Amino acid sequence: MDFAISPAETLASARLTIDLGALAANWRTMRERSGRAEAGAVVKANAYGVGTGPAVRALAAAGCRTFFVASFDEAQAARDAAPKAVVYLLNGLLPGSAADLSALDLRPVLGSLDEVAEWAAWRRRTNRGAAAIHIDTGMNRLGLTPDEARALAADRDLIAEIGPSLLMSHLASADIAGSTTSARQLALFRELRRLFPGVPASLANSAGIMLGPDYHFELTRPGIMLYGAIASPELPPLLPVATAEGRILLVRDVPAGEAVGYGGEQTMVRASRIATIGAGYADGYHRVAGSSDRRPGGRVAIRGGIAPLVGRVSMDLMTADVTDLPDVGRGDWVELFGPTIPVDEAAAVAGTIGYEFLTGLGRRYHRRYVGA
């Protein structure tokens, strides 16, 4: 789904710049890291907030042939953008949805024996469509249990009816340094995939790709790293893709001793110049990233300088201390996150992760796509 409403830039209090060239470059980086495996792309949740249609077109142009989405509307958007691509629905087969999926040549990732049975019935009737089988190797969320997978593998007729095009599982802790969970999941997945000879396999998300070739199998499923998040010293250099900015509506002088914003949570310790910025939690910048006398909040970047937020983040507004940035004024764009303030940093101040900041971007941004 693309956001239908994108206000004109001159009329927008907030804007989002999506660098599709950076997205394609990050995908090429992950493809190299995937070694001999094919690199797919996960474009669920409106392509992690950046826009399914533009993201899929850019990735397909870069050579990506396989896309993963969560829901049907996302799958439709991916199909529109890439008519020939393979599109998998990670949320699987909802009751009665096989005909709609097949009409658009979308592939469900079958996550339970009920889904397997319903898909097999559809295939018996129509002989149409392909599907993946998801095996749960330790996340206890989606997928057949190992015992269910063993029973299914023994039923050659049922396997033939399903016509599986992919066998997949998902890592629970690939991004947690020192975790032994991934190795356990890998061992189990290896054992189970031997029961499905000839079916390509896929295990690794972004962090899983970084665990090395053992995890790559035939197809990898990078998501977050395509969008430039969870960068760390061990990871390849990734380019920021989304830059979120708010516009300065006005700059005012606030005397020492006065408080700023709802609840008066932060009192100025010096005479200050405070910029009021036209973006807030309704735009996905979490309220808890605000600042108080007890705890500093997030930082924003303006005209090459850095300004700390002051006071609470409200629905449509946030306030930043620009006392030390004398050139800053009305109409200036302020980076909330992007090349200067990494999305992971902004998210960490809010006690969350880059995934949530990106997918929580609101609908009010003027969206512009560059680098295609």
Ligand X SMILES: *Cc1c(COP(=O)(O)O)cnc(C)c1O
Active site residues: 44, 262
The shares of helix, strand and coil residues in the chain, as percent rounded to the nearest 5, are: 35, 25, 45
Minimum distance from CB of 221 to ligand X (Å)? 4
Are 206 and 170 within 8 A, CB to CB?
Answer: no
φ and ψ at residue 229, rounded to 5 degrees: -105, 180
**Span from 181-189, 201-209, 285-293, 337-345 in contact with ligand X (CB under 6 A):** 201-209
Which residue in the set 13, 205, 243, 272 belongs to the binding site for ligand X (CB under 6 A)?
Answer: 205
186 vs 207 by CB, closer to ligand X: 207
The reply to whether 170 sits near ligand X by the rule CB under 6 A is yes
* Structure token pair of residue 49: 């907030």
Cβ-proximal residue to ligand X, closest one: 223
Which residue in the set 219, 224, 317, 341 belongs to the binding site for ligand X (CB under 6 A)?
Answer: 224
Minimum distance from CB of 21 to ligand X (Å)? 20
φ and ψ at residue 223, rounded to 5 degrees: -125, -85
Minimum distance from CB of 168 to ligand X (Å)? 7
**Span from 8-16, 204-212, 247-255, 320-328 in contact with ligand X (CB under 6 A):** 204-212
Draw the binding track, 86-105, toward ligand X (x: CB under 6 A; -: no contact): ----x---------------
Q: What is the DSSP string of 66-106?
A: EEEESSHHHHHHHHHH-TTSEEEETT---TT-HHHHHHTT-
Burial class of 117 by CB neighbour count within 10 A (0 to 12, 13 to 18, 19+): middle
The reply to whether 75 sits near ligand X by the rule CB under 6 A is no
The reply to whether 123 sits near ligand X by the rule CB under 6 A is no
Are 106 and 79 within 8 A, CB to CB?
Answer: yes
The reply to whether 222 sits near ligand X by the rule CB under 6 A is yes
Q: CA quadruple 170, 172, 174, 179: dihedral positive or negative? A: negative
Are 305 and 292 within 8 A, CB to CB?
Answer: no
Size of the site for ligand X (CB under 6 A): 11
**Span from 215-223, 234-242, 268-276, 281-289 in contact with ligand X (CB under 6 A):** 215-223
Binding site for ligand X (CB under 6 A): 42, 44, 90, 170, 205-207, 221-224
